[in-house]
Amino acid sequence: MEVKIGVQHAPREIVLESDQSVEEVERLVSEALSGKTQLLSLQDEKGRKVLVPTDRLAYVEIGEPTVRKVGFGAL
C-alpha cells in the first residue's frame, strides 16, 4: 500500500510503498501521535525503514493496497 507522510517545514512529502497492513500503519501512527514513541517508524517493501520525529508530523495518508494487473484482460 502507499503511505504519504507530510513533514512540517519540508517542501516535499515522503512517499513509500509498504507491505504493512492498514491497521498496523494506523496503530503505529496513533502510538506516535499519542506520545508513546518519539519516532514514527515505517518499513517499505524493500526492508528500508523510514523514521520521522513525531513532533514534525503534519499528516499521514494511508492508501489502498496496490493491485498489480498482469496480462491482457478486459478493462
Mean residue pLDDT of the chain comes to 88
**Among 62, 53, 55, residue whose Cα is nearest residue 25:** 62
pTM: 0.77
Confidence of residue 73 (pLDDT cuts 50, 70, 90): low
Domain boundaries, the chain: 2-62
CA pair distance 33, 68, nearest whole angstrom: 32
Helix (H, G, I), strand (E, B) or coil at 69: coil
User: For residue 17, what are the contacts with CB-CB under 8 A and spacing of at least 6?
Assistant: 1, 2, 3, 44, 45, 66
CATH of domain 2-62: 2.30.30
Convert the pLDDT of each residue in 44-55 to its tens digit.
999 999 999 999
